[in-house]
Chain A
């Protein structure tokens, strides 16, 4: 159980996904800095809140603004208060690792006997609302960051190439049931692929004709959920890279995301003078 925007509330909540309030914005901006070797993470933040009822509740200490931070890998889950004026949050080294989700929100700190509903949708006007402490009043979009070294691993380190004699001539396939994503190559072209990988002007070709479609294929598999590969090293690295680059495998443009993951691979052809006959 964690606090998130998927929760349904029987009271007005100011968020990008609801129209519970007639007007008003709660928007947060975060810059993430990290020293991967020590897992030191810092969030610099700015807050935009122009809804007067919530601003007044925060000013009178009846409500607070902050983030719910959750890291499954390290069992870290805390609600951290933030200031309306913006500032900085420093996480103790060693507390976060892997995927970390951050949910900005506003919540009640004290009992509010009669919540002011003047700026709320008329569907809430019928009955006066009272809130106990710990009630969510506003949410901004949750976001995720990737902490640690996995996201920095070169993509090549999670791929390997293997001969697979049963494939039709001239074709490729993928095996994901190993610690590396294994590109299976038909026997008639196996040597050619390996030769190209060893040549300066051959690498851009394999990157674009073998690895780019392979990454797209992996993303397509992950679209359906990749839990079956949870124990595979490639899966961990791949997921961390996706989080770091803000790619949601469940909902992404395969070609666009694959180019992002391989850092615009066509540029390797574009800048290779030998390939262009220069």
Chain B
């Protein structure tokens, strides 16, 4: 275990402004030699073991996404959500500890300099909510795991496989933050995806279902409802979006 470190805002800004100049480092080099020049190793009062990050799989498959999210959670579940908003943590990880993974997952050797710069800006930095949640090579995995843990608590992140089973589901689950950040509702959505596979199985079904949840659920205090009441409400959302609930267990 050791203290988690992050880079300063100035160092992150300087890296962002020097992406083209550092193209060779992103393609095949490293940033180790730059660590003495800037503020690369500011310590946080948080003890972590980053060893699991050595096993990140750059395959880009749904299975790899699930196992990678679990690895990041194993290493960094101790982070609070507000700390996870700090760009410097993710910039340090993508440029040092997880550089090989980030490079293999999000860059490739055939990219021209412009494509490389875009890939780096998207996946090696985390200066907005969208980049933290969807783009940064490591923080997106942390947010996958965090959101799955709020929907269905447990060390093995039981909701993760469902949420990441399709890109469409991830985007409609995780990007609808106003819905899934309400744990009782997120848990209900995970239950209906399990009870009625059609909600998530067919292209477009899930998107239509979530639109119904938003349309019909405005003004309801789900936190005062029983799980059964929430399930009945979500069944009605499935029906109103054209999904048969006959297969309900």
Contacts and interface: CB of A to CB of B under 8 A. Distances in A.
Contact of A135 (B177, B183, B214, B221): B221
B109 interface: no
Contact of A75 (B9, B177, B218, B220): B177
Interface in B43-91: 80-85
A179 B16 CA distance: 11
Nearest to A38: B82
A73 interface: yes
A79 B82 contact: no
Nearest to B84: A74
Interface string A200-232: 000000000000000000000000000000110
Given A79-B223, A107-B224, A133-B229, A95 B127 contact: no
A73 B85 contact: yes
B80 A94 contact: yes
Interface in A138-194: 147-148, 179
Nearest to B132: A73
Contact-size category for A: 35 or more
A99 B213 CA distance: 25
A107 B182 CA distance: 16
B178 A1 contact: yes
A74 B81 contact: yes
A78 interface: yes
A76 interface: yes
B229 A132 contact: yes
Contacts of B177: 72, 75, 77
Contacts of A233: 9, 13, 127
Interface in B207-245: 213-214, 217-226, 229
A74 B127 contact: no
Contacts of A42: none
B218 A1 contact: yes
A32 to B, nearest CB: 16
Q: Is the interface of A mostly helix, strand, loop or mixed?
A: loop
Contacts of B80: 39, 93-95
Contacts of B213: 1
B82 A97 contact: yes
Interface in A1-24: 1-3, 7-9
A231 B146 contact: no
A39 B224 contact: no
Contact of A70 (B81, B178, B223): B178
B182 A77 contact: yes
A1 B131 contact: no
A94 B219 contact: no
Contacts of B127: 231, 233
A179 B13 contact: yes
Given A75-B146, A134-B220, A134-B222, A94 B129 contact: no
A104 interface: no
Contacts of B229: 132-134
Given A93-B80, A134-B225, A179-B13, A70 B181 contact: yes
Interface string B113-132: 00000000000000111110
B172 interface: no
B150 interface: yes
A103 B83 CA distance: 25
Nearest to B13: A179
B221 A39 contact: no
Contacts of A134: 220-225, 229
B179 interface: yes
The 7 closest A-B pairs by CB, nearest first: A94-B80, A74-B81, A7-B219, A77-B181, A97-B82, A79-B223, A107-B221
Interface of B: 9, 13, 80-85, 127-131, 143, 146-147, 150, 176-183, 213-214, 217-226, 229
Interface of A: 1-3, 7-9, 39, 64, 68, 70, 72-79, 93-98, 105, 107-109, 132-136, 147-148, 179, 230-231, 233
